[in-house]
Amino acid sequence: MKINNRHKKQIRKKAFDLGFNNIGFAKADFLSEEAERLENWLKNGYHGQMLYMENHFDKRLDPRLLVPGAKSVISLSYNYFPEQKQLENTYKIAKYAYGKDYHFLLKDKLRELVNFIDATIGKVEGRVFTDSAPVLERAWARRAGIGWEGKHSLIIQKNKGSFFFLAELISDLDFEVYDTPFSTDHCGSCTSCIEACPTEAILDNKTINASRCISYLTIELRDELPADMRSKFADWMFGCDICQDVCPWNKFSLPHNEAFFDPHPNLLQMNKQDWEEITEAVFRDIFKKSAIKRTKYSGLKRNIDFLSS
């Protein structure tokens, strides 16, 4: 379906009304720049035990193989930066996991956007995604003009920082005018994220050796945590925000106003002893419908025991 600029503005306005903090429109095409990079990343084993990253190689690079008939990729971002944070001297959780699992909220909002397009512009054929399929989200965010890829490999937006989720609508909508890819790297000579990473997981070419990343180790790794990393976790027990916390662009981050992302009241008050003594019942109460349920009680306890031993 051909989409003119008036309809494009309607879609943009609806996205902002739904709470997204940015939206961009890119033509669905083969990601030629990312092909060699992805292949080398996998060959170097930087994905660790995330063997699923080896699957659907072609679909990761071409959304038309993932969604037949696709003409465009609408990329959106949603702020999750919290107003309040955990205690200073405690075991830490990545900020994206403070509240309920973002997948539920963003999928609902994306479906609402599709329903709006169906009702006001015309029937749309496509699929919605948010970190839920072989989609190179950051590549599409850059192509859609949302931001640039920082040295820590995350998308950064001017005046907004990097604390946001990405989501996509891949569909048969064919826009008369697509947005210009974000081509300027505003990181310059800054290497704060590289220098701050305690496990040296950030390489100097915007590449992450995930097998050394604290987020990977505390969430994805199912084996025993590597003993030689014990002193390098900086008390992170689920995920890690170090590379974002030190990024100068995140001085522009503003607190979200999404109640769905508000943490359980007890979470922000828990000290190290509280975490070390956490029971499965308390875990279920605090992390009901949370992304942290992915690692389960046993996984979080493994991480806490590792940090406290």
Q: Give the DSSP per-residue string, 141-198.
A: HHHTTS-EE-TTSSEEBTTTBS-EEEEEEEES-EESSPPPP----TTTT--HHHHH-T
Q: Which of 111, 87, 81, 100 lies closest to 294, judged by CA?
A: 100
The closest alpha carbon to 256, from 90, 143, 96, belongs to 96
Q: Look up tokens 């279920």; give the residue.
A: 284
Known catalytic membership, residue 118:
no
Q: Confidence class of residue 253 from pLDDT cuts 50, 70 and 90?
A: very high
Confidence of residue 1 (pLDDT cuts 50, 70, 90): confident
Report pLDDT for 266. Answer: 94
Share of the chain above pLDDT 70, in %: 100
Give one DSSP letter per residue of 214-272, joined into a string. HHIIIII--SPPPGGGGGGSTTEEE---HHHHT-GGGGG------GGGPPPTTGGG--H
Give the mean model confidence (pLDDT) for residues 157-180: 97
pLDDT in tens, 213-241: 999 999 999 999 999 998 999 999 999 99
The answer to whether residue 182 sits within a structural domain is no
Instruction: For 22-74, write each residue's pLDDT tens digit.
Output: 999 999 999 999 999 999 999 999 999 999 999 999 999 999 999 999 999 99
Report the amino acid identity of residue 142.
R
Q: Which of 17, 29, 62, 131 is flagged as catalytic?
A: 131
The predicted pLDDT at position 205 comes to 76
Does residue 75 belong to any structural domain of this protein? yes
> How many distinct structural domains can be found in the chain?
1
Q: Which residue segment(s) compose the domain that 112 sits in?
A: 1-177+187-309
Q: Which two tokens stand for residue 22?
A: 């940015």
pLDDT score at 118: 97
Comparing CA positions, the residue from 147, 30, 10, 136 lying closest to residue 77 is 147
pLDDT reported for residue 262? 97
Q: Give yes or no for a contact between 18 and 107, defined as CB atoms under 8 angstroms apart.
A: no
Closest CA to 250 of 297, 296, 209, 193: 193
Dihedral of alpha carbons 11, 12, 16, 19, sign:
positive
> What pLDDT, on the 0 to 100 scale, is given for residue 20?
98
pLDDT tens digit string along 109-158?
Answer: 999 999 999 999 999 999 999 998 999 999 999 999 999 999 999 999 99
pLDDT value at residue 146: 98
Name the percent of the chain lying above pLDDT 90: 97
208 pLDDT tier (thresholds 50, 70, 90)? very high
pLDDT at 53: 96
Rounded mean pLDDT of 168-172?
98
Calpha distance 292→103 (Å, rounded): 12
